[in-house]
Amino acid sequence: MITLASDFGSPYPAAMKGVILQRTDARLVDVAHDFPRQDVRSAAFWLREVLPYFPPATHLVVVDPGVGTDRNALVLRAGDHVLVGPDNGVLLPAARQLADDFDLERYVVDETRVESPAPTGSVPPGEPTTSSDPDGPASNTFHGRDVFAPAAAEAHEVGPDGLETLEFLEPATEYVSFEFPEPTLSTDRAVGEVLVVDDFGNAITNVPGSFLADRERITVDGQQVPVGDTFASVPVGDRLATVGSHGYVELDVNRGRGDEAFGLEPGDQVGLEPADENGDT
Amino acid sequence: MITLASDFGSPYPAAMKGVILQRTDARLVDVAHDFPRQDVRSAAFWLREVLPYFPPATHLVVVDPGVGTDRNALVLRAGDHVLVGPDNGVLLPAARQLADDFDLERYVVDETRVESPAPTGSVPPGEPTTSSDPDGPASNTFHGRDVFAPAAAEAHEVGPDGLETLEFLEPATEYVSFEFPEPTLSTDRAVGEVLVVDDFGNAITNVPGSFLADRERITVDGQQVPVGDTFASVPVGDRLATVGSHGYVELDVNRGRGDEAFGLEPGDQVGLEPADENGDT
Amino acid sequence: MITLASDFGSPYPAAMKGVILQRTDARLVDVAHDFPRQDVRSAAFWLREVLPYFPPATHLVVVDPGVGTDRNALVLRAGDHVLVGPDNGVLLPAARQLADDFDLERYVVDETRVESPAPTGSVPPGEPTTSSDPDGPASNTFHGRDVFAPAAAEAHEVGPDGLETLEFLEPATEYVSFEFPEPTLSTDRAVGEVLVVDDFGNAITNVPGSFLADRERITVDGQQVPVGDTFASVPVGDRLATVGSHGYVELDVNRGRGDEAFGLEPGDQVGLEPADENGDT
């Protein structure tokens, strides 16, 4: 099984699928292709939340603002899973979730040794693309198709225990690190950050859900809102704080958009405090 | 085969797919994940129109404004098909279309007996989510992942004739009903309602297509429009009434949006009358 | 393997998948369902760019502004590939790319002999749709479901070498032609056209990438921009000209939208000239 995730929209992911299906008959499952454009942090968050629900698989990830530069391409073995993508940190939170540190192997892709796909047809529609490296991939702008897709297909074919047999892989001696911001927590105050806003408009913070335990109301940047177990615990259109499916404090609106009601977007700081149960702060 | 339908957008459906693929290697087919948010009627309409074209399958449906409340989760056998989703009526029109009434079986899911998925990784990214019921699902806000997906996978594994062997199912003694609004019809007037607007902007009413039979023009809320067999029977940009692929009167614009041209949205009433063939009302 | 491409949005493609899966257990791969509405040229471009990366397959394409008129439905064999879609030119650029001219076979679908799908359920939700031809397909507005999907499934089952055994196919004696506009090229000037704008906002022209060879700057409609190997060769937010993954000159913005920055949309003419390397025109 190979999962695919990118910020490509459409139809570029289909070209990656064609390239993969030239080399393997693995099942393909889309994770998402509408990650916020070139936003490594959002993609890293969603991959960490979603990939652990999959059985062992090869995960192809292309959110790659540095495409065509000298940033590396990585292949990681994380337990029984394999992750393939650019060396910009996007793979790390998911990899750490999928395996303990001692069960991680990191490889760099030698792009000159990956066999780029050859489309059917002897005359390319436009012209061969220029490349600063004649041994490099076919294009400087679509490594998803020309580097990552073939690397993922080959990695899938050899499996997590066969990565060292792939001639285009070399052990990685260094790689770009990545950490989510940590909240500042005390018993009566949490200062966190909105990590992502989901498609429902829920503003997902980095404050652990336990901050809401046994509380009926909190203040969010000074404004009181009820704490609810479910969206439907408040009237339609009302705001609430809840513990989302990721285990973090979320700021939501029942059948509405929390990001708009709270005026929050990814990266915004947010301060949470317990509120008087009578509705006074 | 398991089909998936929701109003989740992206990337939450991928978590459901991971959960399912932990339990079965069934083929997965997306019906849609962009149903209008928490709009049971629209989802019920589309499922009734689309699912009957599928071979026997398990259909997972999550349009669930009451997630986390005490609404039930249902599993229905409808002939050779199985439907899994919340007890809010969304499954019923499709189920009635897929089977005669005497060939329907209804089960309620005992959520405390569904094995919620355990993501890979010993330390969850956030924290375990709070739940008012310690035996309940892992989250109060993502039953698609924690209740419906595992239930659908198990239902698929036993098949439509094995549902009674599933320990988490109990016969349903009652369930939320659902009916689409009926139009008021006479030979020279139809008063109906816009059921949904499709992605092309076609306003699909609940008036049977036969109302247009042998007519060349009708009035829509008093305004004359031609009746056409095809969008292209009128000039580009012009309005028309036609019989859509669902068998209902649709109000369309050739290569444009009927909803905007007619000023109609789902739920709006609309009055149709035959018009003088010379273009006078 | 059957690929699917359309301008249908959602959920109509699912009905086509159901119809296909009633007849074959082929792997289904979506190319895109969000092609610009009823825009034959854009779809023809993307299909030509994407389909050659696939292994031999049947490609179902429905971008069909003339649905329900007397335009023909076509099945083309292009080498080891088969293409199925409306006779409006949308299939031709991909077909020419997939096979040399002498390896192309063209068939017209006799729509009265295609077995339209019968949905499960004895009573259709609305009513049977009117059709000007009682032997014709079930609807005048959804040939994707009622003509093209069954034709593609049958074509897949017999394979590229068995098309002549399909009773609903007849050799095509004529068909609608299609050519992309050609640029006017000289050594110091190219006058081209924006063919499409991709999801990133890159304005893809029909000017071959070789026009940028050995140049560091060009003018685009008189305004100077740098030529870059990669998006990241200019600061974030800056404009550049590059050779895209299709081999054509693209007008882009690093992490932004080139179409907006250059004020270009599909169909717009654009004039490119070499610029003085010192930044003067």
Domain boundary among B116, B147, B171: B171
The pLDDT-based confidence of C30 (bands split at 50, 70, 90) is very high
* C279 within domain boundaries: no
Domain boundary among A171, A197, A212: A171
Residues B102 and B202 in one domain: no
Number of H helices, E strands in chain A: 6, 15
Given the cut 0.85, state whether the ipTM is greater than it: yes
Task: Read off the pLDDT of residues B80-125 as tens digits, 9 standing for 90 and up.
Answer: 999 999 999 999 999 999 998 779 999 999 999 999 898 887 445 5
* B178 within domain boundaries: no
User: Which CATH number is A50's domain given?
Assistant: 3.40.50.10790
Whether B242 sits inside 8 A of C139 (CB atoms) is no
Residues B143 and B209 in one domain: no
Contacts with C93 (C-beta within 8 Å, 6 or more apart), sequence order? A125, C44, C45, C47, C48, C178, C180
Q: Of chain A residues 177-206, which have a CB less than 8 A from chain B?
A: 198-200
Rounded to 5°, the CA angle C103-C108-C113 comes to 135
Task: Read off the pLDDT of residues C195-212 as tens digits, 9 standing for 90 and up.
Answer: 999 999 999 999 999 999
Tell me how far apart the alpha carbons of residues C53 and A120 are, in angstroms, rounded to a whole number: 6
Chain C neighbours, 3+ Cβ pairs < 8 A: A, B
Whether B11 sits inside 8 A of A213 (CB atoms) is no
**What integer best gives the mean pLDDT of chain C?**
91
pLDDT at B132: 43
Element (H, E) at A59: strand A58-62
Tell me how far apart the alpha carbons of residues C94 and C41 are, in angstroms, rounded to a whole number: 12
Among A160-164, B64-68, C173-177, C240-244, the minimum mean pLDDT is found in B64-68
Which DSSP category does A17 fall into?
A: H
**Nearest alpha carbon to residue A38 among C236, B210, C219, B160:** C236
The total domain count for chain A is 2
Tell me how far apart the alpha carbons of residues A202 and B67 are, in angstroms, rounded to a whole number: 15
Give the strand pairing for B269-274 and B189-197: antiparallel
Domain boundary among C124, C150, C171: C171
The pLDDT-based confidence of C281 (bands split at 50, 70, 90) is very low
Residues B12 and B94 in one domain: yes
Residues A133 and A70 in one domain: yes
Q: Within its chain, how far is the Cα of B105 from the centroid?
A: 19
Residues B57 and B129 in one domain: yes
* B281 within domain boundaries: no
Interface test with A, best of B127, B133, B147 (most A CBs within 10 A): B127
Q: Give the max Cα distance, chain B.
A: 75
Query: HEC profile for B92-156?
Result: HHHHHHHCCHHHEEEEEECHHHCCCCCCCCCCCCCCCCCCCCCCCCCCCCCHHHHHHHHHHHHHH
* C59 within domain boundaries: yes
Q: What integer is the mean pLDDT of C229-246?
A: 92
Rounded to 5°, the CA angle B169-B171-B173 comes to 135
- Burial class for B70, CB neighbours closer than 10 Å (0-12, 13-18, 19+): exposed
Q: What stretches of A184-278 show up as alpha helix (H) in DSSP?
A: 258-262
Residues A192 and A230 in one domain: yes
Residues B78 and B211 in one domain: no
Contact B236, B197 (CB under 8 A): no
Give the strand pairing for B189-197 and B184-186: antiparallel
Contact C38, C62 (CB under 8 A): no
* A279 within domain boundaries: no
User: Does the CB of B215 have a partner CB in chain A at under 8 Å?
Assistant: no
pLDDT at B281: 45
- Residues on chain B touching A199 (C-beta within 8 angstroms): 8-10, 12
Choose between A127 and A74: higher pLDDT: A74
Among A266-280, B50-64, C123-137, the minimum mean pLDDT is found in C123-137
Residues C23 and C143 in one domain: yes
Find the CB nearest A98 among B12, B21, B121. Answer: B121
- Burial class for A161, CB neighbours closer than 10 Å (0-12, 13-18, 19+): exposed
Residues B189 and B147 in one domain: no
Interface test with B, best of A80, A216, A231 (most B CBs within 10 A): A231
Enclosing domain of residue B162: 2-171
Which DSSP category does B254 fall into?
A: T
* A281 within domain boundaries: no
Residues B163 and B189 in one domain: no
User: Does the CB of A258 have a partner CB in chain B at under 8 Å?
Assistant: no
Contact A72, A87 (CB under 8 A): yes
Tell me how far apart the alpha carbons of residues B178 and B196 are, in angstroms, rounded to a whole number: 16
Q: What integer is the mean pLDDT of C82-90?
A: 98
Is residue A102 classed as helix, strand or coil in its secondary structure?
helix
pLDDT at A280 over 80: no
Query: HEC profile for chain C?
Result: CEEEEECCCCCHHHHHHHHHHCCCCCCEEEEECCCCCCCHHHHHHHHHHHHHHCCCCEEEEECCCCCCCCCCEEEEEECCEEEEEECCCCCHHHHHHHCCHHHEEEEEECHHHCCCCCCCCCCCCCCCCCCCCCCCCCCCCCHHHHHHHHHHHHHHHHCCCCHHHCCCEEECCCCCCCCCCCCEEECCEEEEEEEEECCCCCEEEEEEHHHHCCCCEEEECCEEEEECCCHHHCCCCCEEEEECCCCEEEEEECCECHHHHHCCCCCCEEEEEECCCCCCC
Residues C13 and C132 in one domain: yes
Q: What integer is the mean pLDDT of A218-232?
A: 94
Is residue A234 classed as helix, strand or coil in its secondary structure?
coil
- Tokens 């479910």 locate to A230
Peptide bond preceding B171 in cis form (omega within 30 of 0)? no
Cα distances (angstroms) measured from residue B45 to each of A84, B198, C79:
40, 11, 42
User: Does the CB of A95 have a partner CB in chain B at under 8 Å?
Assistant: no
The pLDDT-based confidence of A70 (bands split at 50, 70, 90) is confident
Find the CB nearest C231 among A121, A126, A141. Answer: A141
pLDDT at C129: 43
The pLDDT-based confidence of A228 (bands split at 50, 70, 90) is very high
Whether B213 sits inside 8 A of C130 (CB atoms) is yes
- Residues on chain A touching C210 (C-beta within 8 angstroms): 127
Min distance C243 CA to chain A CA atoms (Å): 6
The pLDDT-based confidence of A124 (bands split at 50, 70, 90) is low
Q: Which two tokens stand for residue C100?
A: 């040399």
Per-residue exposure over B111-132, b if at least 16 CB sit within 10 Å of its own CB, e if not: beebebbebbbeebbbbebbbe
Whether A120 sits inside 8 A of C3 (CB atoms) is no
pLDDT at A187: 85
User: Does the CB of C42 have a partner CB in chain A at under 8 Å?
Assistant: no
Whether B52 sits inside 8 A of C17 (CB atoms) is no
* B31 within domain boundaries: yes
pLDDT at C126: 59
pTM of the shown model: 0.94
User: Does the CB of B102 have a partner CB in chain C at under 8 Å?
Assistant: no
pLDDT at A136: 57
Min distance A82 CA to chain C CA atoms (Å): 23
Whether B247 sits inside 8 A of C8 (CB atoms) is no
Q: Which two tokens stand for residue B226?
A: 């031609």
pLDDT at C67 over 90: no
Task: Read off the pLDDT of residues B126-165 as tens digits, 9 standing for 90 and up.
Answer: 554 444 444 556 677 799 999 999 999 999 999 999 999 9
3-state helix, strand, coil in chain A (%, to 5): 25, 30, 45
Tell me how far apart the alpha carbons of residues A6 and B11 are, in angstroms, rounded to a whole number: 11
Count of Cβ atoms closer than 10 Å to residue A229 Cβ: 19
User: Which CATH number is C198's domain given?
Assistant: 2.40.30.90
Is residue A156 classed as helix, strand or coil in its secondary structure?
helix
- Residues on chain B touching A79 (C-beta within 8 angstroms): 120
pLDDT at C173 over 70: yes
* C54 within domain boundaries: yes
Residues A12 and A126 in one domain: yes
Choose between A51 and A129: higher pLDDT: A51
- Whether the CA torsion A66, A68, A70, A71 is positive or negative: it is positive
pLDDT at B216: 95
**Nearest alpha carbon to residue A126 among B237, B179, C104, C48:** C48
